[in-house]
Structure 1
Amino acid sequence: MKAEKETNKKTGNNRFRDPNKVAWRSLRKALMVTPSDTWPRPPPFIGGGIRWARCPRPDGEFWAESSDYYQIVWSSEYEKSSKAFQFVQTSHDPQALAEFLYRNPYHLDALIQMSRVYQHHGQMDHATDCIKRCMYVCELSWSENFDVSNGNSRMDYRIETNATFYKALFMYMQQAGRRGCMRSAFELARMIFALDPHGDPVSVVLALDYYALASRQYAFILALLDANIQPVDRFTESARSEVESHSLSSLPNLYLSSALAMFHSGKKEAQEQLAKALLMYPSVLSLLLDACKVRTTSEAWKSVVENSRFADARPLSGDSVLAHVLSIYVTRHSQLWKSENVSDFLYQSAKLAIDSSVLKSAYPQMMELPPSLLKYHRAALQDYTDEVTMLPEDDPIPQQMEQMNQMAVHLPLENIQNGFQDDALSLTGNPLLLFLQSLLPWNVVQTRDN
């Protein structure tokens, strides 16, 4: 799951850290993040930390008795800092946020918020560093029995302390994917999904198949399609009739991605699988063709797109959850359909869809998702793209952030080589500047004892 390990494999960067510059190091090996030598020491539980604890099986459907259930417990000091953070949030002041983080460098919600601030200003390295800190302190706090590898450890998103962990994991997955670390992003997505596969509270299944395809985990997609996982809305749970019961395989993204997985696996039924998906969701064809910039005026494609099955398909309503999920699919997955061989596969499947009377009668157009899948209306489109919303150029970036950027560029080389002692940061400096400086590899923040 270490995205930096995957990055180093691609770039050939296998540098070893200088042991003389390690301020501290945990004896516990981290699974997801290699801690930076410049990070402050995470606090113990009684000093303002957090810990994992077993908890009773939650109320609601599809919480298996055989699974283990956990929740994050805040220490009393962490609770106090969280109350203070609520005031910081209402201020909408990056400097107040940086000052809070300077005093509470491992507060999860504050790190998530600061990561978003950095992203909106295009400082992706600092944004990733914040989320890595989240992941590291969480992993150090895991219970010994909390095993992410067996898929049997569950966490209820409705518990406030657990929700923060979900959010941090989701952001870490996004950041890994944006850096091209697709296998790491896939493993993180799979971990998030395994925490509550039936509830899927952060709608990660809409991205899980993308990262599986991008990292060539084709068998996983096909197994997920056959798993018959029954979805449930954890936020509006109510008794469901058997008629309403549908598995996750009814999601269009899994249907479409399973066809692509079959194609890449050399399975002969791939073309029929995609033809079925195109018949049920005909609007996705034009969406994919537009996103992939396919010239539909060519003689071959013109005969397909002008066929009544696609040209006369009923339009989905503006508030349709199905239309929303299809839009997310095309936004997230269109890159996977752009190669010449995949484009030809799409064409041949569309031809099969309009030529097969058996398929056309067996797979009518779907106008909406089944009731048990309507919960995916909460999925936000911007969470399924590698593009980050940037603030306009004329937006006044905080002066301290500009100062920090200039300082990082012009700092003399000898200051870097002097190590920690000569470049220790004073506690009395500007809070935002201190926090930004603490991210630089040659700085260490002074403690009150040092």
Structure 2
Amino acid sequence: ITAEESEDDPPSREERADARLSKQAAAGGKNEGAVTEETEGNGQRDEEEAEQPDPTPLLSNKPRKKKKKRKTKKTSVGETLVDNDLEDIDSLLEKIEDTNGLSQQTQSGIITDNRPLLYVEHRNLNPENELKRYFGARAVLGDQRPRQRQRQNVRGTWLTTPKDTWPRYSKTGIAMQLVETRRGVQYFTFKHHREYQQVQFKFLDAVESMDPNNIVPLLEALEPYHVDSLLQLSDVCRMQENQEMARDLVEQALYSLECSFHPVFSLTSGTCRLDYRRPENRAFFLALFKHLMFLEKRGCPRTALEFCKLILSLDPENDPLCVLLLIDFLSLRAREYTFLTRMFQEWESHRNLSQLPNFAFSVPLAYFFLSQQEERSELELSQAREKAARLIQLALIMFPSVLMPLLDHCSVQPDARVASHSFFGLNARISQPPALNQLTSLYVGRTHSLWKDPAVMAWLETNVHEVLAVVDARDPLVEECEHK
């Protein structure tokens, strides 16, 4: 009998079982349970053999071709996964960041972040991370990867990313030293060595000559990373509308300053201080502020907000660059409403932020945007709506001169009752001090685009009529706000 005939006519289950049972009985009837298990196992194998196809195709080359095709498919999928690896990681990090933000905002109240108010995150200092959220990692980093592979022995920094076109960095003669530590706060200062001081004197002579061409030789021959020369030349390029070169020079200055940081100096802790009154420290403040403004114009409000927090953390008591007049606008543009409301709650008692027109109007606007977020609970939404209405009415009573210029910038015509009422008329703007007029003009010119939303305008109109009712009723609150 051939092998094919034996496979075509296999014995039945009963015949195999009887044969094995007879052998087991002849051997003494041992292991009866094993006979049953073996019989069932053989039955399953018989069914599997019956389900198998004809053995002749198994000897052909078709399965080998299929295996090759599978390998090529896996390889192509692997290449696709490698190409999209960076985008997948960025999307996962963004989801994790979003979920963390929601969990902090939705637990039993609007503010639940336990970190320090001016805590700075390293990843938010890089504008490429924000641009990748808008355009994708491939569009932002596609042309930069080969250059980054070619550049070697580059010191890693957080404030800027060094470029191949920059001069090779060497010690510039700037150092940072720790002055003292008081109540958990560390006070630092920059220090210029003697060689750097000589370059600084030549820079001052070049500035007095009123010729920008005298600054270029300082960077080419003496010190390519002289901070003040880089910042001054950046202003010249900006006035000549060479924005790319101006931004690049500011980044070089920041890179030079960061390379001279003290080992203990931390950008993120919010407990490191620099005294702006020392001339050596001013360049760092100015470089950060110029970089912040370039980031805002570039369309990176979240990164600009992080640099704004960094500047404020260096000297929060004095705020030498007045970033408090800017931080509310950046918070609204970056949609960091919780940060703005938290800052108002924590600093109002000792800084009187409600006396500034920008905070008086931006904080209720932030509460209004919070009240429009559907992922919040009904309690949080009602609390946000109540605070938004109360604070915007208080702001309109305290700064009535803001309403008409704001509506004018938004191309909105007020109704007859508002336009004819003396409370929001021209007298409100004439009677206030010139400094307050300047603050209101700065706020309206900077943030009017945030008020153009139809929902915001409808909410503002409702509260304006509420304020007029309070004014007509001669509420004591109106007189109290006039004397503040």
TM over 0.5: yes
Q: What is the percentage of aligned positions where both structures have the same residue?
A: 29
Distance 1:361 1:367, change over 3 A: closer
Distance 1:4 1:132, change over 3 A: farther
Deviation digits for residues 159-205 of structure 1 (CA, Å, limit 9, x no counterpart): 11111111111110000000010001000011111111110011011
Tell me, yes or no, if structure 1 residue 128 matches structure 2 residue 247.
yes
Question: 2:369 is matched by which residue type in structure 1?
Answer: H
Cross-structure match for 2:461:
347
Distance 1:107 1:229, change over 3 A: farther
The answer to whether the 8 Å contact 1:279/1:353 transfers is: yes
Cross-structure match for 2:162:
35
Cross-structure match for 1:264:
369
**Take 1:79 and 1:109, find their aligned partners in 2: how far apart are those partners?**
12
**Take 2:475 and 2:225, find their aligned partners in 1: how far apart are those partners?**
56
Q: What displacement does 1:49 show?
A: 2.9
Aligned length: 341
Cross-structure match for 1:284:
402
Which one has the bigger helix percentage? Answer: 2
The answer to whether the 8 Å contact 2:147/2:164 transfers is: no
Matched position secondary structure for 2:140: coil
**Take 2:349 and 2:188, find their aligned partners in 1: how far apart are those partners?**
22
Q: What displacement does 1:3 show?
A: 2.1
Cross-structure match for 2:319:
200
Q: What displacement does 1:8 show?
A: 4.4
Cross-structure match for 1:170:
289
**Take 2:443 and 2:190, find their aligned partners in 1: how far apart are those partners?**
33
**Take 2:479 and 2:258, find their aligned partners in 1: how far apart are those partners?**
48
Map 1:15-414 to 2 at 5 A: 15=142, 16-18=144-146, 22=150, 24-27=152-155, 29-44=156-171, 48-56=172-180, 65-103=183-221, 104-228=223-347, 247-266=352-371, 267-269=384-386, 270-296=388-414, 301-311=415-425, 313-316=427-430, 320-356=434-470, 360-364=475-479
Q: What displacement does 1:247 show?
A: 2.5
**Take 2:272 and 2:231, find their aligned partners in 1: how far apart are those partners?**
24
TM-score where L is the length of structure 1: 0.71
Q: What displacement does 1:53 show?
A: 1.2
The answer to whether the 8 Å contact 2:128/2:140 transfers is: no
Distance 1:22 1:161, change over 3 A: farther
Deviation digits for residues 281-323 of structure 1 (CA, Å, limit 9, x no counterpart): 0000011111112123xxxx23223223212753345852221
The answer to whether the 8 Å contact 1:222/1:258 transfers is: yes
Distance 1:20 1:279, change over 3 A: closer
TM-score where L is the length of structure 2: 0.66
The answer to whether the 8 Å contact 1:218/1:261 transfers is: yes
Distance 1:317 1:95, change over 3 A: farther
Cross-structure match for 2:55:
none
**Take 1:131 and 1:183, find their aligned partners in 2: how far apart are those partners?**
19
Distance 1:49 1:30, change over 3 A: same
**Take 2:317 and 2:475, find their aligned partners in 1: how far apart are those partners?**
31
Deviation digits for residues 106-133 of structure 1 (CA, Å, limit 9, x no counterpart): 1111111111111111111111101111
**Take 2:148 and 2:154, find their aligned partners in 1: how far apart are those partners?**
15
Q: What displacement does 1:20 show?
A: 8.3
**Take 1:146 and 1:363, find their aligned partners in 2: how far apart are those partners?**
48
The alignment's C-alpha RMSD in Å is 2.3
Cross-structure match for 2:9:
none
5+ long unaligned stretches in structure 2? 1-124, 372-383
The answer to whether the 8 Å contact 1:70/1:155 transfers is: yes
The answer to whether the 8 Å contact 1:198/1:229 transfers is: no
Cross-structure match for 2:47:
none
Distance 1:89 1:367, change over 3 A: farther
Greater relative contact order (CA < 8 Å, ≥ 6 in sequence): 1
**Take 2:475 and 2:321, find their aligned partners in 1: how far apart are those partners?**
34
Out of 134, 137, 152, the residue aligned to residue 10 of structure 1 is 134
**Take 1:30 and 1:20, find their aligned partners in 2: how far apart are those partners?**
14
5+ long unaligned stretches in structure 1? 58-63, 232-245, 371-450
**Take 2:166 and 2:326, find their aligned partners in 1: how far apart are those partners?**
31
Matched position secondary structure for 2:416: helix
Deviation digits for residues 332-357 of structure 1 (CA, Å, limit 9, x no counterpart): 21121122222222212212211236
The answer to whether the 8 Å contact 2:179/2:188 transfers is: yes
Deviation digits for residues 41-92 of structure 1 (CA, Å, limit 9, x no counterpart): 2221xxx3312211137xxxxxx63311111111222111111100111122
